[in-house]
């Protein structure tokens, strides 16, 4: 029964992969037909998304072309995407410091256009780098920042961003041994991965669920999920993701005394490290081989891998590297705090402007009403017209200040779209003003005529 279930899962996965490969092929055909830089950038970006869904490696040549286009067009939004992909490329090479430099550099560029998809993606990717560095609280901080910047549910890529949040939260709570929270996010990840049909995140979902059930002592469930992950593993090219699977599965095997099988997985880790020239994966492989040989009472081999582990850890976690990484994190936190303070100050200023405008509008409205409805004063139409125009300008500015945050959100602060939005507001207010002005002039004419007749009667 279980074998049949695995076969069905495998066939569904293969069907999904074929569909995505067909999409990738069609995108490459589309790419070959255009020389327009902007079109080429967006097609290459779409190809990167599909490859990521399939668990394939980042295409470095495509990423370089995307960066060249972004720099040529001097476009902050495109630069943010390019830096994000370059950061991921370095992350998958085990170069955590360079990965962080590019990912952190991309955040203010993405914020310029309020691109929440990109902002959340950057924070989630940064958290993955911190997991590599065993800085779990820094990872958690960035997961939460990414969660705060998730795009609206109506956004096309909402599930794609949500799935990264769920994966990272599940990973964090597993590492912190908070089983209930880990299970909550691992199960949510499984549901979202079924919805998105992503090979990469389906793989992450099943091995993370296996890890949670292992920690909860439900070995039967854990074995079921890890078996599903093994079925999917050949389709995954992303080395850091495969490393995490090997780590979680080896922990499960060791906790159940299956030392020879754990040895096989530790060797797989070392082979993955050699294949990708990745020191982070090599460190994990050396750690598990040392642990396996300890359990086998093979002291010579255990000592050999212990020395290797110490040497690699010294290179990765050297004081120089740690200082630079901490400086990057500190500078980014300072920048975020300054941005938040600036936004808070701008909001206070906006609220004060709204209050002043409202007060001015009330005063002008009272003056106009007094001039309109006074039965003693013959009102000057030109004067009221002047106050009417002034009131219109204040109303326009008042509405603009109230709607400005929403307008900025909808237009991503693009000047042309912002201008179009303001023109639409003016197009609504001006006809209303003209109708009110026409009514006021007619009313004034009748009122002034009545006052003159009354004055003439009094003189008689």
Residues 365 and 417 in one domain: yes
Give mean pLDDT, residues 37-59: 87
**Residue 17: band (very low, low, confident or very high) from pLDDT cuts 50, 70, 90:** very low
In the chain, % of residues over pLDDT 90: 45
pLDDT at 452: 61
Please check whether residue 266 lies inside any domain of the structure. Answer: yes
Please check whether residue 110 lies inside any domain of the structure. Answer: no
Residues 293 and 233 in one domain: no
Please check whether residue 408 lies inside any domain of the structure. Answer: yes
Last residue of a domain, one of 254, 288, 304: 254
Last residue of a domain, one of 236, 254, 272: 254
pLDDT at 103: 94
In the chain, % of residues over pLDDT 70: 67
Q: Give this prediction's pTM.
A: 0.69
- Range of weakest confidence among 95-104, 154-163, 375-384, 420-429: 375-384
Please check whether residue 41 lies inside any domain of the structure. Answer: no
**Is 90 exceeded by the pLDDT of residue 5?**
no
Last residue of a domain, one of 272, 301, 317: 317
pLDDT at 241: 92
- Could you read off the pLDDT of 353-406 as tens digits, one per residue? 777 667 666 766 665 665 555 555 555 566 656 655 666 566 666 666 666 666
Residues 216 and 270 in one domain: no
**Residue 290: band (very low, low, confident or very high) from pLDDT cuts 50, 70, 90:** very high
What are the structure tokens assigned to 213, written together?
């059930």
Give mean pLDDT, residues 181-195: 95
Supply the mean pLDDT for the chain: 81
**Which residue segment(s) compose the domain that 264 sits in?**
257-317
Give mean pLDDT, residues 252-258: 95
Residues 395 and 452 in one domain: yes
**Residue 12: band (very low, low, confident or very high) from pLDDT cuts 50, 70, 90:** very low
**Residue 8: band (very low, low, confident or very high) from pLDDT cuts 50, 70, 90:** very low
Please check whether residue 99 lies inside any domain of the structure. Answer: no
What is the C-alpha separation between 377 and 335, in angstroms, rounded?
A: 60
Residues 355 and 447 in one domain: yes
**Is 50 exceeded by the pLDDT of residue 13?**
no
Residues 358 and 416 in one domain: yes
Give mean pLDDT, residues 430-440: 65
Residues 350 and 441 in one domain: yes
If one counts the domains in the chain, the total is 3
Q: When comparing pLDDT for 257 and 114, which is higher?
A: 257
Residues 297 and 355 in one domain: no
Residues 431 and 450 in one domain: yes
What is the C-alpha separation between 114 and 149, in angstroms, rounded?
A: 9
Please check whether residue 124 lies inside any domain of the structure. Answer: no
- Range of weakest confidence among 12-26, 234-248, 367-381, 399-413: 12-26
**Is 80 exceeded by the pLDDT of residue 432?**
no
Residues 356 and 312 in one domain: no
Please check whether residue 146 lies inside any domain of the structure. Answer: no
Burial of 177 (0-12, 13-18, 19+ CB in 10 A): exposed
Residues 196 and 265 in one domain: no
- Could you read off the pLDDT of 73-84 as tens digits, one per residue? 999 999 999 999
- Range of weakest confidence among 92-101, 151-160, 380-389: 380-389
Residues 191 and 229 in one domain: yes
Please check whether residue 312 lies inside any domain of the structure. Answer: yes
**Is 50 exceeded by the pLDDT of residue 322?**
yes
**Is 60 exceeded by the pLDDT of residue 226?**
yes
């Amino acid at each position: 029964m279980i074998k049949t279930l695995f076969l069905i899962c495998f066939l569904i996965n293969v069907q999904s992969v074929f569909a995505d490969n067909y999409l990738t092929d069609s995108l490459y055909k589309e790419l070959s037909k255009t020389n327009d830089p902007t079109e080429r950038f967006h097609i290459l970006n779409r190809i990167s998304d599909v490859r990521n869904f399939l668990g394939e490696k980042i295409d470095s040549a495509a990423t370089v072309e995307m960066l060249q286009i972004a720099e040529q067009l001097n476009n902050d939004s495109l630069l943010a995407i390019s830096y994000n992909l370059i950061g991921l490329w370095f992350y998958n090479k085990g170069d955590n410091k360079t990965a962080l430099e590019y990912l952190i550099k991309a955040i203010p560029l993405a914020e310029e256009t309020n691109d929440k998809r990109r902002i959340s993606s950057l924070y989630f990717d940064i958290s993955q780098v911190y997991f590599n560095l065993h800085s779990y609280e820094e990872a958690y901080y960035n997961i939460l920042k990414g969660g705060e910047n998730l795009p609206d549910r109506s956004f096309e890529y909402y599930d794609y961003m949500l799935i990264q949040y769920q994966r990272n939260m599940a990973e964090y709570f597993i590492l912190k041994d908070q089983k209930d929270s880990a299970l909550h996010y691992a199960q949510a990840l499984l549901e979202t991965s079924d919805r998105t049909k992503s090979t990469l995140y389906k793989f992450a979902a099943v091995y993370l669920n296996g890890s949670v059930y292992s920690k909860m002592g439900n070995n039967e469930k854990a074995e079921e999920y890890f078996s599903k992950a093994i079925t999917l593993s050949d389709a995954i090219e992303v080395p850091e993701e495969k490393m995490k699977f090997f780590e979680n599965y080896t922990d499960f095997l060791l906790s159940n005394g299956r030392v020879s099988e754990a040895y096989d997985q530790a060797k797989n880790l070392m082979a993955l490290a050699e294949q990708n020239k990745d020191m982070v994966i090599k460190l994990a492989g050396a750690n598990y081989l040392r642990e396996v040989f300890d359990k086998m009472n093979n002291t010579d081999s255990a000592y050999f891998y212990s020395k290797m582990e110490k040497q690699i850890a010294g290179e990765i976690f050297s004081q120089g590297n740690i200082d630079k990484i901490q400086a990057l994190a500190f500078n980014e936190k300072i920048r975020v705090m300054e941005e938040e303070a600036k936004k808070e100050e701008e909001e206070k200023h906006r609220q004060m402007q709204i209050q002043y405008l409202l007060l001015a509008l009330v005063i002008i409205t009272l003056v106009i009403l007094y001039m309109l409805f006074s039965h003693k004063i013959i009102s000057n139409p030109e004067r009221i017209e002047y106050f009417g125009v002034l009131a219109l300008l204040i109303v326009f500015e008042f509405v603009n200040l109230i709607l400005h945050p929403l307008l900025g959100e909808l237009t991503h602060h693009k000047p042309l779209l912002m201008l179009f939005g303001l023109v639409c507001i003016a197009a609504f207010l001006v006809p209303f003003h003209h109708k009110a002005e026409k009514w006021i002039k007619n009313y004034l004419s009748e009122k002034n005529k009545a006052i003159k007749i009354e004055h003439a009667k009094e003189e008689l």
